[in-house]
Structure 1
């Protein structure tokens, strides 16, 4: 049996039952569902501080991918919490705009100088859908072209209808969304030519992705785009008269303070930010060229666009959190810190995997600030069973790691502890490979992909 056989989470198991009784799926994000973890080993969190979280069973973990990549400074970061507390004492939502909205917008645009205007929201889906709506309005075109190699853009129908979880979405809506491959300019031009004059926008993450998309197996090794690709995409969008949208939910701040567009030097028409922007507080942003963004405003003579209008989109404490995050990134060089921590972790994990003889099966991929891992079977194919084995061993060793996406709160001790846990997990992984059957180490059903048609 597995070395982690005695590890159990009875209170978390009971808490998961409570969650499922009152919340569909047992969580408010499908990626946080207990089906993403080994059976009966899905910790329910009590609290977190820095790079650590504690579950309701009293176990402490080194945590990665915190808040689905949103908590990049660590939990309860003092600078962010102080800014939030200060605004909470002054009120958080009024019948007219707060001066904080101007201050936050000015700081955002100073940090992301490739954008000329910005509007804040509470989640990334609202921002990306607003970008799509705006693109359709200004071009008069119905179709949206999404990058098929990036796994998620929005909870709204125009995107979710293209995934296996398309129940409840009319085919007429889905038919208006088409897909293009990342890194392939010729294929993208063929798509635009085939739908000549119909595509309102191209929307993609500006960097390569490292996780399975809803439509495919792992396609990209992640990291930087091929030289000239984004510039070529910019030229294609201009020539075909469509809007270029960068989804910077992940790349924003983690690639550079100004996002991937700041790092690669290609300016989109519109871009969306979130996740790291609030360090766990709910704030997202749609930014872009003034000529487009003003169509959602009051100072133009064209038909009005219902761009973004949210009751809670500009809560002062969330905008204060965003300003504290932006200031901390710039003043403390957080992006460079994330890269340095990620590099140390990647080297350690690769050495541990190689030392256990599974270097071709436990594979770290992606930019250092945004590392993920692949778990491959005997034939070097992605395996949910081996992912289950790996996660189970990490949990037992006190590492909560659905990915290896780092926060700046991780220190050398945390990284060393993680590498030790990986080494232990890889030793078990080797045994399973030698047995050609990971089943004895799973402890139950394998973890599941988020996007699937049936439960």
Structure 2
């Protein structure tokens, strides 16, 4: 991969970390095996050296229909030829809002942005304004909510964030209603909102989301669902549509634009109007971005929603994920590593775990596994599927996984994955030191 290696050096000289997203960093991949992408189409991407990969987790889960989906591209192209940004709202803003609210009928109003961090932080700001309370309670078991200080200050990468800011964010574990009740009692009258992904790699326990709704109402705080991942992958209306629990506010992104930059803050009218012009209270600077309503991104989002509803995309994602998970588990079982190479999560949002000989999560064994996948033409930081995958792609992936599991078994038997790493191990995104 000489061209990718040269491009990585070029990136590091110009861009801190060599990428604009930490999860895309070179440190997340085996040494000298971090491809720099030339282009993608459907479920495949090509690197600068001409290598083709079956890709998973496309665009950090944002490209759920596949790269360069023709209906999405055509919708965006049509608007680009008509102008992308004006000094007053485009009529497309009303059309996109109507389309979104028809897809997510649990919300009354919506405001669009460009990334998930902005809309989730806007939800926090709105909750503080509405309740007059300073504290934010987040689900501490979930990895990411925003690049902004109220969240990043709680991670190992908290450098540059005042402690006074971080102290206003408290956390609770997923699935434990008693812990949430205890937290709200401890900070009675101080918590503005509960922020969480409504579901993740495990299904919500029976009554959990309903219980959060009751606790939020009882304590006068807002319930905020981060639907960045669950939006469209769980159902077109997100996890709230699947599980039937309505939050006060929710945030969407990723799959909404199939790679185009668009996100959404949605919620109850009486709350969202605090950021508008038709109320008599204090004004809230809810969300105001120059590029938040670019016409081509909104057109792409509307096309995505149309494809999902007309083609049954969510069901297709689940079916592909189920086939992939079954194949990977069979391959791991055949190699005798079924208790060390694990597939977890909802079928439309699969991840894998790599455990060492003692059953502990291991970055070294993850490195070994990723190296073998990449060498076999599978780019898979996760096993999150797109609708563009076909049977041949899934079969090829399972074959490559089988080969990787055979090497995994050898490393376990040797008690040391070192000879198979090919260099330094991959690293977690959130860490305090380089």
In structure 2, the partner of 1:118 is 110
Of 251, 265, 270 in structure 1, the residue corresponding to residue 244 of structure 2 is 265
In structure 1, the partner of 2:132 is 140
Of 293, 317, 341 in structure 2, the residue corresponding to residue 314 of structure 1 is 293
Does 2:398 match 1:406? Answer: no
Of 32, 35, 45 in structure 2, the residue corresponding to residue 43 of structure 1 is 35
Does 2:166 match 1:174? Answer: yes
Distance in structure 2 (CA, Å) of the matches to 1:241 and 1:53: 48
Structure 1 residues 225-250: Cα deviation after superposition (integer angstroms, max 9, x where no partner): 01100000000000000000000000
Q: How does 1:32-71 map to 2 (within 5 A)?
A: 32-71=24-63
TM-score by length of 2: 1.00
Alpha-carbon distance, 1:223 to partner: 3.1
Distance in structure 1 (CA, Å) of the matches to 2:296 and 2:202: 33
Structure 1 residues 66-121: Cα deviation after superposition (integer angstroms, max 9, x where no partner): 00000000000000000001000100000000000000000000000000000000
In structure 1, the partner of 2:85 is 93
Of 146, 152, 155 in structure 2, the residue corresponding to residue 154 of structure 1 is 146
In structure 1, the partner of 2:123 is 131
In structure 2, the partner of 1:361 is 340
Alpha-carbon distance, 1:160 to partner: 0.1
In structure 2, the partner of 1:82 is 74
SS of corresponding position for 1:224: coil
Alpha-carbon distance, 1:271 to partner: 0.1
Of 205, 227, 237 in structure 1, the residue corresponding to residue 197 of structure 2 is 205
Of 198, 221, 229 in structure 2, the residue corresponding to residue 242 of structure 1 is 221
In structure 1, the partner of 2:399 is 420
Distance in structure 2 (CA, Å) of the matches to 1:315 and 1:126: 16
Please, what is the CA RMSD of the aligned residues? 0.4
Of 265, 277, 285 in structure 2, the residue corresponding to residue 298 of structure 1 is 277
Distance in structure 2 (CA, Å) of the matches to 1:168 and 1:362: 37
Q: How does 1:332-351 map to 2 (within 5 A)?
A: 332-351=311-330
List structure 1 segments (4+ residues) > 4 angstroms apart after TM superposition. none
Distance in structure 1 (CA, Å) of the matches to 2:134 and 2:27: 36
Of 368, 375, 378 in structure 2, the residue corresponding to residue 389 of structure 1 is 368
Distance in structure 1 (CA, Å) of the matches to 2:240 and 2:310: 20
Distance in structure 2 (CA, Å) of the matches to 1:226 and 1:247: 18
SS of corresponding position for 1:314: coil
In structure 2, the partner of 1:230 is 209
Distance in structure 1 (CA, Å) of the matches to 2:332 and 2:96: 44
SS of corresponding position for 1:108: helix
Structure 1 residues 369-428: Cα deviation after superposition (integer angstroms, max 9, x where no partner): 000000000011100000000000000000000000000000000000000000000000
In structure 2, the partner of 1:282 is 261
Of 186, 196, 216 in structure 2, the residue corresponding to residue 194 of structure 1 is 186
Structure 1 residues 179-227: Cα deviation after superposition (integer angstroms, max 9, x where no partner): 001000001110000000000000000003xxxxxxxxxxxxx232011
In structure 1, the partner of 2:5 is 13
Distance in structure 2 (CA, Å) of the matches to 1:325 and 1:224: 26
The unaligned stretches of length 5 or more in structure 1 are 1-8, 209-221
TM-score by length of 1: 0.95
Distance in structure 2 (CA, Å) of the matches to 1:53 and 1:223: 30
Distance in structure 1 (CA, Å) of the matches to 2:286 and 2:312: 33
Alpha-carbon distance, 1:10 to partner: 1.3
Distance in structure 2 (CA, Å) of the matches to 1:43 and 1:126: 29
Distance in structure 2 (CA, Å) of the matches to 1:172 and 1:338: 43
SS of corresponding position for 1:304: coil
Distance in structure 2 (CA, Å) of the matches to 1:118 and 1:135: 15
Alpha-carbon distance, 1:15 to partner: 0.4
Does 2:321 match 1:329? Answer: no
Q: How many residues align?
A: 434
Of 349, 374, 379 in structure 1, the residue corresponding to residue 353 of structure 2 is 374
SS of corresponding position for 2:343: strand
The unaligned stretches of length 5 or more in structure 2 are none
Alpha-carbon distance, 1:151 to partner: 0.2
